[in-house]
Amino acid sequence: MLLSFIAYLSIFLFVGISVYKAYKFAKMPLHGRMELYPVPKEKGFEHGGSFYEEVSWWSKPHEVSHFREIMEMMKEILFIKKLFENQRPFWWISYALHLGIYLLMAWTMLLVVGATTELNGIFVAANSPSIWGLLIYYLTFVTGICGLVLGTLGAGLLFLRRMFDSTLKKYTTPQEYFNLLLLFAALFSGIITWGSDLSFSTARDVTANLITFTNFDATGLQIINIILVGIMLTYIPISKMSHYVGKYFTFHTVLWDNSPNVKGSAVEQKVKKATSYKPTTSWSAPHIKGPSAPK
């Protein structure tokens, strides 16, 4: 029961804190424009162009492709494109960690689906007569093994690289080593705990017990792994490892914003609201007189 509570609570905190952070960023005051080209949604994306390349741009429709923006965002999210293009050696280990985490998220969901499937009487195994059972089995098998290996390898190698790279170690704080160690510990404990049964039927059984709040005799390793994963899930959103939240805003609302303040636009309304705000804090230099920005 306690392990079920830890599992549910940590997932709830992970999602809840992440959403809260996203909400806080979404509600922040309107900022000045800081686009950086190429902006994917712009018609001239291929050469880095914008609507400003047109004469009398304000009198023409602003053609944008949200599909292209989503595609570029997906390339960043799924493949860490910028790191791949600009720092390939680092990309290999960083991507191993990120891909490992994505696969482990899929693995966890597959364990839940598999457990639910078995609770409904469908056998999930390599010799299952059900196609669904077979599909879940093999997907769980592949995502589990790849996820655990890649994630653990990525976290470990990132830690070592930071330790021994003469540049990176100058900028790495003890907390940042701790972050990677926590990830490594949680993932490595996963390998030790679940790696002895690569059919993951034990993991599925434990998952079934966890999601149904059923008491079971957890092994010491299982307890350690569940607690470590719980701590990791709770810690990630309160640390800077929550960059998965920030990254959306840095790209979507800052670098790729590109919404000019033209008459009648939604931005105009936001500007109107922002300019009427009176700051409670003011600057003190002699050339700045009065409590707020110039009217």
Partner 1 sequence: MINQKDLLPKDMGRSDEQLIKLEVDQLMPLLAPYDKPGMEPAMTDPKPAWKEKFCTSLDGYVGIDTLIRPKSKEEEDEFVRKFLSGLEKIFSDANNGVLEPLLLTFEYCAKCNTCSDACHIYTATGNNELYRPIYRSEVLRKIMKKYFTKSGKLLGNFVGADIDVNWETIARLGELAYRCNLCRRCAQTCPLGLDNSLLTKEIRKIFSQEMGIAPTPLHTKGSMLQIKTGSSTGLSKPAFLDTLEFLEEDTEERFGIKFKFPVDKKGADILVLHNAGEFIAWPENPVAFALLFEEAGLNWTLSSEIMGYDSVNYGLWYDDFQAKKIALMQMKVAKDFGVNRLVVAECGHAHKASMVVGDRMAYGDAKIPVESCLPLLWDMVKNKRLKLDPSKNNFPVTLHDPCNVVRQLGIVEPQRNVLKAICPQFREMTPHGVDNYCCGGGSGFAIMNSQNFPQFRDSVASRVKFNQILGAFKDTIEDPSIPKYVCAPCSNCKGAMRSIFEHYDATEKFNLQYGGLVELMVNALVSMKKPYLEFLDKE
80 binds partner 1 (CB under 8 A): yes
| Binding footprint of partner 1, residue count (CB under 8 A) | 80
Considering only residues 195-224, where is the footprint of partner 1 by CB under 8 A?
Answer: none
- Nearest-angstrom CA–CA distance, 243 and 251: 12
Burial class (CB in 10 A: 0-12, 13-18, 19+), 166: exposed
Structure tokens at 240: 């800077």
CA-CA distances (angstroms) from residue 7 to 19, 93, 252, 293?
A: 18, 28, 32, 49
127 binds partner 1 (CB under 8 A): no
Q: Which is nearer to partner 1, 22 or 135 (CB)?
A: 22
CB of 248 to partner 1, least distance (A): 9
36 binds partner 1 (CB under 8 A): yes
35 binds partner 1 (CB under 8 A): yes
Per-residue x/- track, 140-169, partner 1 (CB under 8 A): --------------------------xxx-
CB of 244 to partner 1, least distance (A): 10
Whether 190 and 225 have beta carbons less than 8 Å apart is answered as yes
CB of 144 to partner 1, least distance (A): 27
Span from 78-86, 103-111, 148-156, 188-196 in contact with partner 1 (CB under 8 A): 78-86
- Pick from 224, 294, 247, 257: which is nearest to 34 by CA? 257
If you write DSSP's letter for every residue of 141-204 in order, what string do you get? Answer: HHHHHHHHHHHHHHHHHHHHHHHH-TTHHHH--HHHHHHHHHHHHHHHHHHHHHTT-TT-HHHH
CB of 1 to partner 1, least distance (A): 33
- Nearest-angstrom CA–CA distance, 61 and 182: 51
End-to-end CA distance of the chain: 61
Whether 227 and 6 have beta carbons less than 8 Å apart is answered as yes
The binder of partner 1 chosen from 48, 74, 160, 214 (CB under 8 A):
48
79 binds partner 1 (CB under 8 A): no
- Nearest-angstrom CA–CA distance, 67 and 73: 10
CB of 45 to partner 1, least distance (A): 9
Q: Which is nearer to partner 1, 66 or 263 (CB)?
A: 263
Considering only residues 242-261, where is the footprint of partner 1 by CB under 8 A?
Answer: 243, 246-247, 249-251, 253-255, 260-261
- Nearest-angstrom CA–CA distance, 40 and 70: 9
61 binds partner 1 (CB under 8 A): no
Considering only residues 9-28, where is the footprint of partner 1 by CB under 8 A?
Answer: 25, 28
118 binds partner 1 (CB under 8 A): no
60 binds partner 1 (CB under 8 A): no
